[in-house]
């Protein structure tokens, strides 16, 4: 069975909420051509009668993995309808919104991410909104596939140890993926200088892109100037597949540049002195 990522999100223009909903998340699997009902309960916690409206949104991710709630970003938004879109509740009164999922026939397997939104109607331009996060999995074969878009550095030459790498990943499978990562730095003799785990964020949604900046400031063992190699190992999914990326760079510390410059100056001076001695001998 497909395994999905679920989370809860809160939209609010006020410091406290005037209502509550439950549950905060659903993970369901529905076969192509089949239907299923989901219930979201809402309670009016305010001190006056309130109206509430139900709707459906798509949920995506930004490059950092944070959720994005928007209309018309997932085709599955069209598969879900609330049987009753509005309800009025007295103080401390509760009610259920029933959302019906109808997965069209011949829908390919995969995960879809949606928000079952409950909004408090208000005369203000912005009102309270809460959402139950739904990971809808269309039954079928899970395809776990991760693509390495880029791993490297903005510069090829570094003169101090305060630098970072950039990693771009895309989930090209049909299911969200857990990620774990390890960074390894190799010296000029191909020996490991240091190795540590790296945080790659929460699960990456299907067809989403993840961008991670990787801090290399803990490379205290980096001493000698020369060409070095960084390697990223990424394990992902239930099958624990591995993806590896490599990037090389030059480390040229300031002391080395100063020494090199002094050496050039010294050689230049020696050449001038030798040339003058030779000229004097010829005279």
Residue 160 in this model has a pLDDT that exceeds 90: no
Residue 219 in this model has a pLDDT that exceeds 50: yes
Residue 270's pLDDT is what? 79
* 47 φψ region: left (φ > 0), alpha (ψ -120 to 50), beta (else): alpha
How far, in Å, CA of 151 to CA of 149, rounded?
7
Residue 221's pLDDT is what? 67
Residue 6's pLDDT is what? 37
Average pLDDT over residues 149-156: 90
- pLDDT-derived band at 239 (thresholds 50, 70, 90) equals very high
Contact yes or no for 84/55 (Cβ under 8 A): no
b vs e for 171-182, b when ≥16 Cβ sit within 10 Å of the residue's Cβ? Answer: bebbbbbbbebe
Residue 8 in this model has a pLDDT that exceeds 70: no
- pLDDT-derived band at 17 (thresholds 50, 70, 90) equals low
Domains in the chain, please, with CATH?
A: 9-138 (2.60.40.10), 146-252 (2.60.40.10)
- pLDDT-derived band at 1 (thresholds 50, 70, 90) equals very low
* Chain mean pLDDT for the chain: 86
Average pLDDT over residues 66-80: 94
- pLDDT-derived band at 151 (thresholds 50, 70, 90) equals very high
Residue 218's pLDDT is what? 65
pLDDT tens across 187-204, in order? 888 888 888 899 999 999
Residue 225's pLDDT is what? 84
How far, in Å, CA of 43 to CA of 205, rounded?
31
Would you give the end-to-end CA distance of the chain in angstroms?
94
Contact yes or no for 228/183 (Cβ under 8 A): no
- Of the two residues 118 and 11, the one the predictor is more confident about is 118
Residue 269 in this model has a pLDDT that exceeds 60: yes
DSSP string spanning 56-83?
EEEEEE-TTS-EEEETTS-GGGGGEEES
How far, in Å, CA of 118 to CA of 38, rounded?
14
Residue 122's pLDDT is what? 75
∠ CA(262), CA(263), CA(265), 5° rounding?
65
Nearest C-alpha neighbor of 151 from the set 176, 182, 178: 182
Residue 2 in this model has a pLDDT that exceeds 70: no
Of 11-20, 54-63, 159-168, least confident by mean pLDDT is 11-20
How far, in Å, CA of 191 to CA of 201, rounded?
29
Residue 190's pLDDT is what? 84
How far, in Å, CA of 100 to CA of 37, rounded?
4
pLDDT tens across 169-182, in order? 999 999 999 999 99
pLDDT tens across 96-125, in order? 999 999 999 999 999 999 999 999 987 664
Residue 85 in this model has a pLDDT that exceeds 60: yes
Which helix (H) or strand (E) segment holds residue 51: the answer is strand 50-61
- pLDDT-derived band at 62 (thresholds 50, 70, 90) equals very high
């Amino acid at each position: 069975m497909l395994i999905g990522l679920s989370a809860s999100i809160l939209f609010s223009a006020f410091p406290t909420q005037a209502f509550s909903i439950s549950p905060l998340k659903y993970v369901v699997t529905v076969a192509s051509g089949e239907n299923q009902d989901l219930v979201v309960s809402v309670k009016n916690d305010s001190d006056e009668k309130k109206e509430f409206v139900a709707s459906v949104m798509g949920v995506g991710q930004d490059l950092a993995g944070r959720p994005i709630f928007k209309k018309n970003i997932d085709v599955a938004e069209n598969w879900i309808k609330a049987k009753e879109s509005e309800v009025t509740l007295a103080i401390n009164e509760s009610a259920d919104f029933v959302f019906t999922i109808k997965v069209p026939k011949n829908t390919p397997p995969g995960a879809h991410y949606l928000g079952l939104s409950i909004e408090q109607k208000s005369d203000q331009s912005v009102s309270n909104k809460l959402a139950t996060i739904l990971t809808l999995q269309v039954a079928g074969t899970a395809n776990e596939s991760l693509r390495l878009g880029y791993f490297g550095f903005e510069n090829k030459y570094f003169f101090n140890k305060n630098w970072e790498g950039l990693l771009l990943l895309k989930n090209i499978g049909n299911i969200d993926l857990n990620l774990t990562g390890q960074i390894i730095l190799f010296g000029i003799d191909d020996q490991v200088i240091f190795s540590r785990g790296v945080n790659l964020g929460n699960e990456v949604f299907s067809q989403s892109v993840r961008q991670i900046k990787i801090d290399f400031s803990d490379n205290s063992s980096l001493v000698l100037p020369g060409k070095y190699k960084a390697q990223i190992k990424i394990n992902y999914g239930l099958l624990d597949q591995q993806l590896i990326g490599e990037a090389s760079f030059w480390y040229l510390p300031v002391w080395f540049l100063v020494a090199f410059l002094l050496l050039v100056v010294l050689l230049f001076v020696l050449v001038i002195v030798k040339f003058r001695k030779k000229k004097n001998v010829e005279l």
